[in-house]
C-alpha cells in the first residue's frame, strides 16, 4: 500500500467492505523502535560477508512528490545500535520504491524494486540493483511494461524471474472505482521471464503481497488479496516453455492481507489491516491510529495463528513482518520507524 492518489482511488471503496471491528489486543515483548525510515513499507533479508542486513524500501507515501531511497540495517549489531543507513548507489530518476525482493541470481546478489515514477509514461517500473563489493550496490536495469498496471509487491527468484502483484488493472480511475463497487477483479499478476513480460491473469480486487517457495518438490505461489482477507495459493506449472498458475486453496486471516515473508523454520508471516476505514484515516493524518495484526501460517499444516494485534498505538498500518533469529521486525506504510520485538 502506498500513495495518497492510490488510497483515494483504490481504497475508498473498501470502506464498504471493511469498516473494522474492535480487535483483541495481543502484545509482543521487549519492543523497540528503529527510527529514520519514513514509510518503510517493505523489507527483505540479505547476508553480506556472513553478516545479516535488512534492506528496507523507504518513501514518504503521504507526499508522492518526494523521492525515496533504500536503507540497510546491520542486524549483527545490538538492538540499540541498529540504525538505518542510506544505500549509496546510482538511484534511477523518479525513484519512489514500494515492494522489494532480494535473490542470488547466477551467483550475484540482485535486488528488485518496484518504483512509482509519478510520470505519465511509464507510471511504474521495476528497478534492478546488483551488489558489487561490500555493501556497494549499482543500479543495472529498468524494466517497463504495460502489464505493470499497479505493482504493489514483487518476488524475484534465483532464475532471475520476477512476479509482480498488481493492486489494480489498466482501466482509468473512474472504472477502477466502479469495478471495486461491483467487486469485479481486474488486478492480475505480471510475470517477467528474464526477457519479456507475460500476464498470469488470476484477477482480483486489490492484489497485494506475493511470495514463492518450494513445497514437496513443487513451486507454490502465495498471493495476498486484501479485499478477501485471505491468501490465495497456486501451484506454478511449467510446460513446454510456458508458465501458468493452478489455483489450490485460500488461507483466511480475517484481516486485509498485506505482505508475506518466510521465517527460518519455513513458516509464513503475513501482516493484516483489520480496518480499512482506520487505515484511510491514518493515511490522511498520523494522529489517527490504524490497527496492525501479524499472523504466522504454519509451513506444514497452514494453521493460522495471531502473533501480534495492536490498535495502532505501538505501530499503525503495519505492512511486513520478518522474524530473524530471536527478533521480529515489523514495517509500516507511513510512519518513520520499524518496530522490532522479541520473537514470540
Q: What helix, strand, coil percent values describe the chain, rounded to 5?
A: 10, 50, 40
Please report the pLDDT score of residue 7 as a whole number. 45
State yes or no: pLDDT of 195 exceeds 90. Answer: yes
Please report the pLDDT score of residue 20 as a whole number. 57
Please report the pLDDT score of residue 18 as a whole number. 52
Q: Residue 28 corresponds to which cell in the numbers above?
A: 509482543
* Strand partners for 183: none
| Distance set, CA 247 to CA 179, 202, 218, 231 (Å) | 23, 9, 13, 11
Please report the pLDDT score of residue 185 as a whole number. 87
Please report the pLDDT score of residue 172 as a whole number. 79
Query: Look-up: residue for cell 503475513?
Result: 270
Percent of the chain residues past pLDDT 70, beyond the cut = 94
Q: Residue 234 corresponds to which cell in the numbers above?
A: 497456486
The mean per-residue pLDDT over the stretch 119-140 comes to 93
pLDDT, greater one: 122 or 29: 29
Please report the pLDDT score of residue 8 as a whole number. 46
Q: Residue 80 corresponds to which cell in the numbers above?
A: 540499540
The mean per-residue pLDDT over the stretch 29-37 comes to 97
The mean per-residue pLDDT over the stretch 108-114 comes to 98
State yes or no: pLDDT of 70 exceeds 50. Answer: yes
State yes or no: pLDDT of 16 exceeds 50. Answer: no
Q: Is the dihedral of CA 46, 102, 242, 183 positive or negative?
A: positive
φ/ψ region of 91 (left if φ > 0, alpha if ψ in -120 to 50, else beta) reads beta
Residue 196 confidence class, pLDDT cut points 50, 70, 90: very high
Residues 163-173: pLDDT tens digits? Answer: 999 999 887 77
State yes or no: pLDDT of 11 exceeds 60. Answer: no
Percent of the chain residues past pLDDT 90, beyond the cut = 82
Please report the pLDDT score of residue 10 as a whole number. 47
State yes or no: pLDDT of 226 exceeds 60. Answer: yes
Residues 48-66: pLDDT tens digits? Answer: 988 999 999 999 999 989 9
Please report the pLDDT score of residue 121 as a whole number. 83
Most distant CA pair in the chain, distance: 54
The mean per-residue pLDDT over the stretch 17-40 comes to 87
The mean per-residue pLDDT over the stretch 125-138 comes to 94
Residue 216 confidence class, pLDDT cut points 50, 70, 90: very high
pTM metric for this prediction? 0.93
Please report the pLDDT score of residue 133 as a whole number. 87
Query: Look-up: residue for cell 517457495?
Result: 213
What is the spatial order of strands in the sheet that 189-192 belongs to?
A: 151-156, 162-166, 189-192, 197-199
Please report the pLDDT score of residue 21 as a whole number. 64
Residues 259-305: pLDDT tens digits? Answer: 999 999 999 999 999 999 999 999 999 999 999 999 999 999 999 99
State yes or no: pLDDT of 3 exceeds 60. Answer: no
pLDDT, greater one: 326 or 20: 326
Mean pLDDT (the chain) is 92
Amino acid at each position: 500500500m502506498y500513495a495518497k492518489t492510490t488510497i483515494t482511488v483504490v481504497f475508498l471503496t473498501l470502506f464498504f467492505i471493511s469498516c473494522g471491528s474492535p480487535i483483541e489486543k495481543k502484545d509482543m515483548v521487549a519492543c523497540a523502535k528503529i527510527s529514520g525510515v519514513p514509510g518503510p513499507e517493505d523489507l527483505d533479508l540479505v547476508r553480506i560477508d556472513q553478516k545479516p542486513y535488512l534492506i528496507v524500501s523507504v518513501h514518504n507515501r503521504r507526499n508522492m512528490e518526494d523521492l525515496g531511497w533504500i536503507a540497510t540495517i546491520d542486524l549483527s549489531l545490538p538492538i540499540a545500535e541498529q540504525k538505518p543507513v542510506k544505500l549509496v548507489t546510482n538511484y534511477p530518476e523518479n525513484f519512489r520504491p514500494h515492494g522489494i525482493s532480494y535473490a542470488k541470481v547466477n551467483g550475484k546478489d540482485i535486488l528488485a524494486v518496484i518504483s512509482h515514477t509519478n510520470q505519465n509514461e511509464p507510471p511504474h517500473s521495476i528497478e534492478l540493483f546488483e551488489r558489487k563489493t561490500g555493501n556497494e550496490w549499482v543500479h543495472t536495469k529498468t524494466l517497463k511494461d504495460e502489464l505493470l498496471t499497479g505493482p504493489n509487491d514483487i518476488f524475484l527468484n534465483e532464475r532471475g524471474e520476477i512476479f509482480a502483484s498488481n493492486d489494480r488493472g489498466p482501466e482509468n480511475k473512474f472504472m477502477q472505482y466502479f469495478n471495486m463497487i461491483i467487486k469485479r477483479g481486474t488486478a492480475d499478476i505480471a510475470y517477467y521471464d528474464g526477457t519479456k513480460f507475460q500476464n498470469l491473469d488470476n484477477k482480483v480486487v486489490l492484489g497485494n503481497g506475493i511470495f514463492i517457495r518450494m513445497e514437496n518438490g513443487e513451486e507454490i505461489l502465495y498471493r495476498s488479496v486484501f479485499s478477501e482477507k485471505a491468501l490465495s495459493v497456486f501451484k506454478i506449472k511449467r510446460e513446454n516453455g510456458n508458465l501458468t498458475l493452478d489455483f489450490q486453496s485460500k488461507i483466511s486471516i480475517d484481516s486485509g492481507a498485506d505482505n508475506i515473508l518466510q521465517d527460518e523454520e519455513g513458516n509464513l508471516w503475513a501482516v493484516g489491516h483489520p480496518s480499512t476505514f482506520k487505515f484511510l484515516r491514518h493515511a490522511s493524518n498520523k494522529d489517527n491510529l490504524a490497527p496492525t495484526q501479524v499472523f504466522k501460517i504454519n509451513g506444514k499444516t497452514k494453521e493460522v495463528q495471531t502473533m501480534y494485534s495492536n490498535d495502532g498505538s505501538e505501530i499503525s498500518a503495519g505492512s511486513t513482518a520478518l522474524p530473524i533469529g530471536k527478533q521480529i521486525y515489523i514495517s509500516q506504510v507511513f510512519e518513520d520507524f520499524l518496530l522490532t520485538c522479541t520473537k514470540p
